[in-house]
Amino acid sequence: MSDFLGIARDPNSIPVMSLICNGIGVLGFMIYMTNYTMVTFQRIDSRGLLFFSLNTMAATFVLISLTQNFNLASALIQIVWICLGTIAIKKRWSMRDAAPSHPQLDRAFGAVQRENGAI
C-alpha cells in the first residue's frame, strides 16, 4: 500500500513503460467501446470482418497493458478474444477468397442491406 501512495504523491516516479502500456490499454478500451457502440446503433455488422478485426485489436491492446499490471482473469479473457477473433477473421478471409460475389457471403462481411430490426 505504501508503494501505491508513494506513486500517487509523486507521478514522476511511475516508470515510462508502465505509462505507455497503460495508454495502450486505454486505447484498447476505447476500441472495444466504439466497436460495440457501432454494433448497437447498426453502423457495422456483428458478423462482419470489421467487427472481429476491431475486437481482436482491442483485446491485443488490453493484453499489452496487462504486461505491466498483470491480472490473470483479464489476461485469459483477452487471450480467448484474440483466439476467437483470429479464427473468425481467417474464416471470413477464406470465404471472401472462395466466392466474393456471392450474396450470402457478402453478408458475412457487413456488406448487407439493413433489414428491419436486424443487426
pLDDT digits (tens, 9 = 90+) for 82-111: 999 999 999 999 988 775 555 555 555 555
Is residue 97 situated within a structural domain? yes
Is residue 4 situated within a structural domain? no
Query: Smallest Cα–Cα separation from 62: which of 18, 32, 36?
Result: 32
Is residue 74 situated within a structural domain? yes
Is residue 69 situated within a structural domain? yes
- CA 18 to each of CA 23, 54, 79, 115: distance values in angstroms, whole numbers, following the listed order: 9, 24, 20, 46
* Residue range of the domain that includes 83: 16-107
Is residue 73 situated within a structural domain? yes
Counted domains in the chain = 1
Q: For residue 26, is pLDDT > 60? A: yes
pTM: 0.73
**Once rounded to an integer, what is the mean pLDDT over residues 36-42?**
97
Is residue 64 situated within a structural domain? yes
Is residue 11 situated within a structural domain? no
